Structure 1
């Protein structure tokens, strides 16, 4: 196999997280927004260890000789490479943390060192510790009667080395997660310490019968890589109870990494690695606090005048340009296909669609696949209302949406209590598709409204993730959606669809066919091109097909936010492939697959354009249920083409991938252009005018009469 134009998936992901980390030094961004990127980087890295490193760790035990299809590395070689790259990133993190803490001090926000506080502050903290912290602590000295306790995943502990009568001991204090993590030292909430600072400072007062030799705050990262479809669970009839047991098991899986806040003395390092059966090479210690989620509390409690100056401010998406307020959403979709573009446009029209259909007499059923939901999901409220009003409501709730399992379990119970039918996916296949089918019946017969999106039905992330949500009254797409839900409920993976591309059957094969079509065009001297936007590209078959397209002379533009396992610019192989990544204020999440020459937008009739829930990753193309939908409406197709033009012009958030796997900034000699900033301004300035609403509705009706509808 040729590895000259491919790179390792895990190392590519770390390059992505490096780009996230580098946003911390982006002086064009408000200070408190930069602070968030430091937390996002650390949270990303936590999940990377829990999921990806956990998987490779297991593979190193059970399949140590297996070689990666993109890098040709064994699991042990991958683990060593990951460790090396993470250490470099963590050194950078420390530098950025110090810089941003210094910047915070300039605006009077101080993380204080208890040692240098004045007597008044120390008296306050001593009282605070004695009254509000000490009663909740469970310190333990490890011994024969007190065996070493289980350390749950990512929970903070203070580890101490003690002595008494020339005999050595070790102790541990779990830091209670139900206590306030941030302790403020003044009413303005601009000076603070952390709970672990306080407990660590008073360790000598806790272990009063011992001499304190050394101490450190630690956290253990454990694997979260549990397969809910494993044979060990097959006897469980109640899938919800089964998933609850999976969640409990997750916190007890093998440890992968030890983090220490400050230096971890040798005696403590020897002790903890022996107890956890780990190698010291998996210890990461530095001067940055563990678990930076407390940053959000700091930001929320900063005086309002400071916060407003150093954040983007509260963001309210624009009213959707394709919808007219005060008019039935159902009727508008029946007149012409509609599309929402999050986060620039509000999710409200889709919520209104569900609300309307939950109440009207013509709606017979609502069927939907759900992967991740907001904590307070209006979508669930409207689905419950529909069920209570006698509509058939079918919800495919994917309980295996990693780290959202508990939330989905709770919503499943709520939906069932309201009378909805809830099913839990397909055995061995996660259902990651975003599709909603509304079936209606009137004197004119049966009709459909189908919504298909690139992102989750989540009102919270719709304000920070870029996603498309297409809504159509097309009968043929509706009939495909009917077949999709029937196939899902009958565990049939081999459904045949006229328009929808569905994995694991037709999505990947059609994408490969479309790439081959462009190759044939190039071979016959015809105009051609490929544009793909996604989160990640790892599928070796797709990578090979794109390489073949490049060799044939097809211009390929890939806009990939995260993992990218193909190397551009490799002589004789990928010279015609250009790859960029955008990391900015909003998380780029739309998936677009476009085939044809887009240099002339007027020729859009010759372009095949799909939006999808799927990335070109093997897990998505072969081991998940995903859906891609063709965009037939010319207005929407033209709109997406213009969005692509905007994204390709970005030279602020975008970086270019080179053949050596490094990313470089785009040409800043050109005028500064931030795609997200531009789109924010554009959609705010193009909100529908209530004054023109009635005329626009009449114009849409006229359009629907004059224009022959596409399926």
Structure 2
């Protein structure tokens, strides 16, 4: 039988390959292709920092940990990753060159000194002498000056220098500066630019006078960022201050990748590897710039050309809410659900603001994972606290790469009089849960909001997410119990309606799959529909394989990692897997169990990854309202019908654009078209 499992890390690389394919896609506007190329690069940076870093740690600790699906060792996974990344990076270099050549037709030229005319080079030399040279800090490595610490993801110019008596030295110059930008326009030549690090590298001999230059290159290292916060935490320490110190230490962790902009002699590379303690196999040389973040500035310079960008889309007013009426009263009348980015987050923000001023509201409780830089959610919570409401906020300080932001938000909330809690030891709180409690005419009322994405106004315009708001008392009581458990550092042990990890989600999902297996074995139609970011939980994967073998039809829309290979006869023949990578990042999670009138619908913050199902606090909420159920069903059918951005996974684990359907259908564009049409009614 063919393999039915795929390694998690290799599956993620297939996802990033799909991102790269969007950069290669000539039907995508040119500046959006540029954006996808940059996303591919930043995705890869984080992958090395976290996933490769974790595998390196396992190897260094001599732990013979094998992937529980493919039985690959840490070293085997690393070897496969490095081989695949080398191939993908060659495609990245090629598409980058193509994109930058095409933008020249629109008046933007990113040039190099190889292409530059002599007079322009002289102008840039004068610019270097006057604007850059006085600000740089060169180092020559030697007995009196050890090899300097190189910061994570920053660019350095290195040069091999030869003295008059033929001795070699290594010179290093940091190229990152807040004083001069990355993009430097050639003085007197409008529209022609060069990268600052290329300027430094080109004129580096002027910095190291008295030496001859033997070789030179730009380099960039990526450091391991995978810190086990709970293993290091001492309960006698202040948790917030401990996390602040830990973030600083992340910047000094071991390198896991070295990138070079030019070919260098093997002996030189070996010396660099020795200094940095990087294995030679972790060295990558590419033609594209080592850091593509400057491309956002290029896009800004080309804004006057609308044809280079996606057509403008603005989140629309939801027809479920009437303007001028109390949001709380409308939710009490009927459950509501917002669909981002097609609909605006404004009704939810209005709900928080209304609760902050409503005399009947006694408390607001929320879990916060990632927030916008200028968060209106925080403003509403602070205002509620200042108005005398009890405001309890769980701020997850371990939200990777958002730790510093969350530390600052926690301080602001605390200073405003909010009660701030930090979650459970060893378990991140990833749920998106808000509970507003009211006392109205002696009766306790609950307004509960459960979401699939963060309370972040910025990403609500870029990520597809769902936000359910309900006055259902049973759900409100269970949400209240969740917050009580979080405050006491305990787990929710039992629920009836909500699925709550780590104790009451994976097991309940397995039970729901078993129900469908039972119907299939009884000769009845059986169905499971799942929309997820990732599928790695082996218990759930194996149960889905069992369901497929029993005859349950299973459709899955999984944007990223999928460790199950569909379409394999005798195992996963009844499973279909699609991945949609398009203009907006698919982020909502939807679970559908059953068919023919007995469907159960859930939206959730949890992917089917072991870290979500048994190692985090997550919440999935049932959708009881029939109209909202129909909306979820239609949404799921639309996603399955996409034949423009949906790629179907075959029985070999390869993804190709789905060609089903008679006419082109881009689900994300259709959702926006529907949102505009509904808002206009």
TM-score (norm 1): 0.93
Partner of residue 320, structure 1: 318
The reply on whether 1:650 has 2:642 as its aligned counterpart is yes
Q: 1:378 and 1:186, CA in 2 relative to 1: closer, same or farther beyond 3 A?
A: farther
Q: 1:412 and 1:99, CA in 2 relative to 1: closer, same or farther beyond 3 A?
A: same
The reply on whether 1:174 has 2:174 as its aligned counterpart is yes
d(CA) in 2 for partners of 1:188 and 1:630? 61
Q: 1:392 and 1:3, CA in 2 relative to 1: closer, same or farther beyond 3 A?
A: farther
d(CA) in 1 for partners of 2:451 and 2:563? 25
d(CA) in 2 for partners of 1:186 and 1:109? 14
- Residue 301 of structure 1 and its aligned partner are, at CA, apart by 2.2
Cα deviations by residue, 1:425-455 (Å, 9 ceiling, x for unpaired):
1100000000000011121511110000000
d(CA) in 1 for partners of 2:132 and 2:380? 43
d(CA) in 1 for partners of 2:190 and 2:625? 53
CA contact (8 A) 1:319 1:688 kept: no
Unaligned segments of structure 2, at least 5 residues:
none
- Residue 188 of structure 1 and its aligned partner are, at CA, apart by 9.1
Matches within 5 A, 1:248-397: 248-302=248-302, 304-306=303-305, 308-397=306-395
Partner of residue 204, structure 1: 205
Q: 1:637 and 1:669, CA in 2 relative to 1: closer, same or farther beyond 3 A?
A: closer
d(CA) in 1 for partners of 2:41 and 2:190? 25
Partner of residue 625, structure 1: 617
Partner of residue 214, structure 1: 215
- Residue 105 of structure 1 and its aligned partner are, at CA, apart by 1.8
d(CA) in 1 for partners of 2:42 and 2:115? 31
SS in structure 2 of the partner of residue 29 of structure 1: coil
Partner of residue 42, structure 2: 43
d(CA) in 1 for partners of 2:240 and 2:429? 16
Partner of residue 563, structure 2: 565
Matches within 5 A, 1:397-476: 397-476=395-474
- Residue 472 of structure 1 and its aligned partner are, at CA, apart by 0.5
Q: CA RMSD, aligned part only? A: 1.6
d(CA) in 2 for partners of 1:500 and 1:211? 70
- Residue 339 of structure 1 and its aligned partner are, at CA, apart by 0.4
SS in structure 1 of the partner of residue 65 of structure 2: coil
SS in structure 2 of the partner of residue 305 of structure 1: coil
CA contact (8 A) 1:487 1:495 kept: no
The reply on whether 1:662 has 2:654 as its aligned counterpart is yes
Q: Which sits farther off after the overlay, 58-67 or 21-30?
A: 58-67
d(CA) in 2 for partners of 1:17 and 1:311? 21
Q: Which sits farther off after the overlay, 314-323 or 411-420?
A: 314-323
Among 654, 673, 676, the alignment partner of 1:681 is: 673
d(CA) in 2 for partners of 1:227 and 1:568? 34
- Residue 525 of structure 1 and its aligned partner are, at CA, apart by 1.1
Cα deviations by residue, 1:529-560 (Å, 9 ceiling, x for unpaired):
00011000000000000000000000011110
Count of matched residue positions in the alignment of Structure 1 and Structure 2: 679
SS in structure 1 of the partner of residue 679 of structure 2: coil
d(CA) in 2 for partners of 1:412 and 1:189? 46
SS in structure 2 of the partner of residue 687 of structure 1: helix
- Residue 396 of structure 1 and its aligned partner are, at CA, apart by 0.3
The reply on whether 1:537 has 2:563 as its aligned counterpart is no
Q: 1:513 and 1:169, CA in 2 relative to 1: closer, same or farther beyond 3 A?
A: same
d(CA) in 1 for partners of 2:464 and 2:189? 36
CA contact (8 A) 2:482 2:492 kept: no
d(CA) in 1 for partners of 2:324 and 2:28? 37
Partner of residue 577, structure 2: 579
Partner of residue 64, structure 2: 65
Q: 1:319 and 1:208, CA in 2 relative to 1: closer, same or farther beyond 3 A?
A: same
- Residue 669 of structure 1 and its aligned partner are, at CA, apart by 6.7
d(CA) in 1 for partners of 2:667 and 2:416? 43
d(CA) in 1 for partners of 2:661 and 2:446? 51
d(CA) in 2 for partners of 1:562 and 1:204? 46
Cα deviations by residue, 1:258-283 (Å, 9 ceiling, x for unpaired):
01123233343122101012221111
d(CA) in 1 for partners of 2:235 and 2:211? 51
Q: Which sits farther off after the overlay, 419-428 or 668-677?
A: 668-677
d(CA) in 1 for partners of 2:234 and 2:53? 23
The reply on whether 1:486 has 2:484 as its aligned counterpart is yes
d(CA) in 2 for partners of 1:468 and 1:366? 20
Unaligned segments of structure 1, at least 5 residues:
598-602, 690-711
